[in-house]
């Protein structure tokens, strides 16, 4: 995402915070009866629509900025500051 590449992830809760299907990435159902087929279909759909692929890659890039090292560090400091001052 941070390199303007569209990502494809399995449908795990850990990805839900930053991956929105068709907006910031692609999600496939790894619990499908045929997970390899589900993955193949997602890949085919993504690479078959260059406009969608570019839009999702850009959306993912913008979303990834929220998780940059400076932003994450600031979030930690904001969370811990009240504890230190308390």
pLDDT at 84: 86
User: Please, are residues 53 and 6 in contact by the beta-carbon 8 Å criterion?
Assistant: yes
The pLDDT tens digits for 33-77 are 999 999 999 999 999 999 999 999 999 999 999 989 999 999 999
pLDDT at 85: 81
pLDDT at 26: 98
User: Please, are residues 51 and 57 in contact by the beta-carbon 8 Å criterion?
Assistant: no
Higher pLDDT, 15 or 84: 15
The pLDDT tens digits for 32-44 are 999 999 999 999 9
């Amino acid at each position: 995402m941070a390199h303007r590449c569209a990502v494809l992830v399995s449908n795990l809760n850990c990805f839900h915070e930053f991956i929105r299907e068709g907006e910031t990435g692609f999600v496939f159902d790894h619990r499908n009866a045929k997970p390899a087929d589900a993955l193949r279909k997602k890949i085919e759909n993504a690479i078959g629509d260059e406009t969608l692929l570019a839009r999702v890659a850009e959306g993912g890039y913008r979303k990834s900025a929220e998780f940059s090292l400076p932003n994450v560090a600031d979030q930690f400091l904001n969370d811990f500051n009240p504890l230190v001052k308390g």
